[in-house]
Amino acid sequence: MTNHGNSPMGHGRPVVRRRIPEGAEVRVAELYWDAFGRKLGPALNPPETAREFIAAHLHHDRGVAALIDGEVVGVAGYQLGGRALTGGGARDVLSTYGTLRGLPRLMLLALLSRTPAAHELVMDGIAVSPVHRGRGIGSLLLTEVAALAAGHGCRRIRLDVIDVNPRARALYERHGFAAARTERTPYLRDLMGFSAVTTMYRPITVADSREER
């Protein structure tokens, strides 16, 4: 594990766990909502309900967590074997939001959903607490996800990045992701705040497998 030493803010070094710790569900939901609330809001608002929904349906085994002094400060969710970090099926959405209000929400969630191809791990979102950004935690999470993808025999990682997030895209490019295609989504600009989505891939390398060992 990379040693990041102590920060000027006096925090300990980050450690990475291949599972969301029990009891960290609300914290993870908050991080996720801070990062993706603009995008997920139309489907899961109001924020209070959304955070509760995410926390209640979390799949602990589909998230890599970064912790400092026992507190989760970053999370990377992924899909593998038909399971994603954020769970909750149609029935859960309808029982939380009601049938009438739930149905259009299901359509929006379907619009945002991605299905992995064979031998592919799909990243569902990486979020670092705003006060801890720019200190290498996002990079640690990406490295760990690549190693676990190698361990599962995946050949590549896929993720989607929106046009209003060039810094995240730059980070992915530094980690070996390359843009494959961009889908323009002007109809989502007012609703979700972005008007194009770029799909990026990163092949799993021998170095990832070495990291896994």
Does residue 145 bind ligand COA (CB under 6 A)? no
Cα separation, 113 vs 39, in Å, equals 12
String of contacts with ligand COA for each residue 20-49, x by CB under 6 A: ---------------x--------------
> Rounded to an integer, what is the distance from CA 151 to the centroid of its chain?
19
Query: Which of 138, 145, 149, 192 is in the footprint of ligand COA by CB under 6 A?
Result: 138
Per-residue burial over 52-83, b = 16 or more CB atoms within 10 Å of its CB, e = otherwise: ebbbebbbeebbbbbbbeeebbbbbbbbbeee
Q: Which position among 29, 67, 126, 149 is part of the footprint of ligand COA (CB under 6 A)?
A: 126
User: Toward ligand COA, which CB reaches closer, 57 or 135?
Assistant: 135
Contact between 98 and ligand COA per CB under 6 A: no
Which range touches ligand COA (CB under 6 A), out of 5-13, 126-134, 150-158, 191-199? Answer: 126-134
**Residue 134 in contact with ligand COA, rule: CB under 6 A:** yes
CA distance 99 to 105: 10
Between CA 110 and CA 87 the distance in angstroms is: 13
Helices (H), 45-161: 47-56, 90-97, 99-112, 137-151
Contact positions vs ligand COA (CB under 6 A): 35, 125-128, 133-139, 161, 165, 167-168, 170-171
